[in-house]
């Protein structure tokens, strides 16, 4: 059985537009005695990536906030009171088109990176160059789940990892063939990392160590195509 270790990267300073995020992660990991190793998966909350890429918008009023949600949405799925469930341009279905006012200065909101998969690839390239290790990178956001209460972190950008671990065609311990089992391992890793990052601790990154997942997937591969959506 694979044994995993999940630990936070602490001591990172506040991220500003244009900062070298990969360098900040490497320095913080080294400072806590946890230099990155081959097959480590670096999990990063999208907010620091968005801040580094300048994806922060001013919202002087509630009306500006509501307009920003409409601007960021590719499709409004459902409204109830002030709650808006929307599909982003990336294909993600989430609350308020992922426009987020938490963990950011008052009067501003953080938007998703324009291309989270590209952002993950860029960060991974810089991390691997700095560490001479083969790594995976996951950029996360917090989503609700249909028909279940509570929030979980999911992968919205990945690099160096498979988007899906496809078990179709294999057999279970009773010899039954698995016909539909596709495991969203990157979402599971994202949620595991959030257990050590938390929502209000100011820890924006973590490392998952002990998995040997290698692939070239994209987080957008996890978005179910419209023709497979039974609720549209």
pLDDT tens per residue across span 92-117: 999 999 999 988 889 999 999 999 99
Q: Tell me whether residue 229 is in a domain.
A: no
Same domain, 48 and 148: yes
pLDDT tens per residue across span 11-60: 999 999 999 999 999 999 999 999 999 999 999 999 999 999 999 999 99
Same domain, 24 and 76: no
Closest to 191 (Cα-Cα) out of 206, 177, 170: 206
Q: Tell me whether residue 65 is in a domain.
A: yes
Secondary structure class of 208 (helix, strand, coil): strand
Same domain, 22 and 96: no
Same domain, 18 and 75: no
Range of the domain at 214: 5-53+112-223
Q: In the prediction, which pLDDT does 53 show?
A: 97
Among the candidates 92, 111, 130, a domain finishes at: 111
Q: Tell me whether residue 30 is in a domain.
A: yes
Among the candidates 45, 79, 111, a domain finishes at: 111
Burial class (CB in 10 A: 0-12, 13-18, 19+), 112: buried
Task: Determine phi and psi for 189, rounding to 5 degrees.
Answer: -65, -40
Q: In the prediction, which pLDDT does 147 show?
A: 87
Contacts of 118 (CB under 8 A, 6+ apart): 157
Secondary structure element (H or E) that encloses residue 94, with its range: strand 93-95
Same domain, 72 and 124: no
Q: In the prediction, which pLDDT does 102 show?
A: 85
**Considering its fold, how many domains does the chain have in total?**
2
Tokens of 31: 């400072």
Q: Tell me whether residue 230 is in a domain.
A: no
Same domain, 39 and 117: yes
Q: Tell me whether residue 196 is in a domain.
A: yes
């509501």: which residue's tokens?
66
Q: Tell me whether residue 83 is in a domain.
A: yes
Tell me the CATH number at 96: 3.90.1660.10
Q: What is the largest CA-CA distance in the chain?
A: 60
Q: In the prediction, which pLDDT does 1 show?
A: 52
Same domain, 99 and 196: no
Same domain, 126 and 183: yes
Same domain, 84 and 146: no
Same domain, 128 and 193: yes
Judged against a pLDDT cut of 90, whether residue 139 lies above it is answered with: yes
The answer to whether the beta carbons of residues 84 and 123 sit under 8 Å apart is no
Tell me the CATH number at 214: 3.30.1330.100
Same domain, 138 and 65: no
Among the candidates 95, 111, 127, a domain finishes at: 111
pLDDT tens per residue across span 148-202: 999 999 999 999 999 988 788 888 889 898 888 888 999 999 999 999 997 778 8
Query: DSSP per residue over 148-176, as a string?
Result: EEEEEEEEEEEESS-S-EE-TT-B-TTSP
Same domain, 87 and 47: no
């Amino acid at each position: 059985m694979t044994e995993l270790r999940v630990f936070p990267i602490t001591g990172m300073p506040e991220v500003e537009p244009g900062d070298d995020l990969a360098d900040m992660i490497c320095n913080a990991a080294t400072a806590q005695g946890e230099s990155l190793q081959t097959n480590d998966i670096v999990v990063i909350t999208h907010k620091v990536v968005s801040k580094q890429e300048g994806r922060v918008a001013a919202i002087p009023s509630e009306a500006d906030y509501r307009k920003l949600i409409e601007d960021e949405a590719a499709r409004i799925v459902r409204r109830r009171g002030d709650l808006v469930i929307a599909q982003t341009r990336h294909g993600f279905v989430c609350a308020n088109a992922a426009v987020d006012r938490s963990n950011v200065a008052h009067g501003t909101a953080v938007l998703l990176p324009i291309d989270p998969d590209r952002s993950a690839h860029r960060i991974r390239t810089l991390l691997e160059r700095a560490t001479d290790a083969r790594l995976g990178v996951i950029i996360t956001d917090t989503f609700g789940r249909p028909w279940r209460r509570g929030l979980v972190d999911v992968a919205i950008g990945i690099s160096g990892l498979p988007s899906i671990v496809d078990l179709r065609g294999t057999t279970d311990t009773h010899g039954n063939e698995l016909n539909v089992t596709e495991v969203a391992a990157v979402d599971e890793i994202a949620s595991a990392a959030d257990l050590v990052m938390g929502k209000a601790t100011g820890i924006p990154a973590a490392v998952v160590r002990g998995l040997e997942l290698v692939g070239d997937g994209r987080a957008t591969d996890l978005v179910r195509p419209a023709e497979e959506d039974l609720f549209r």
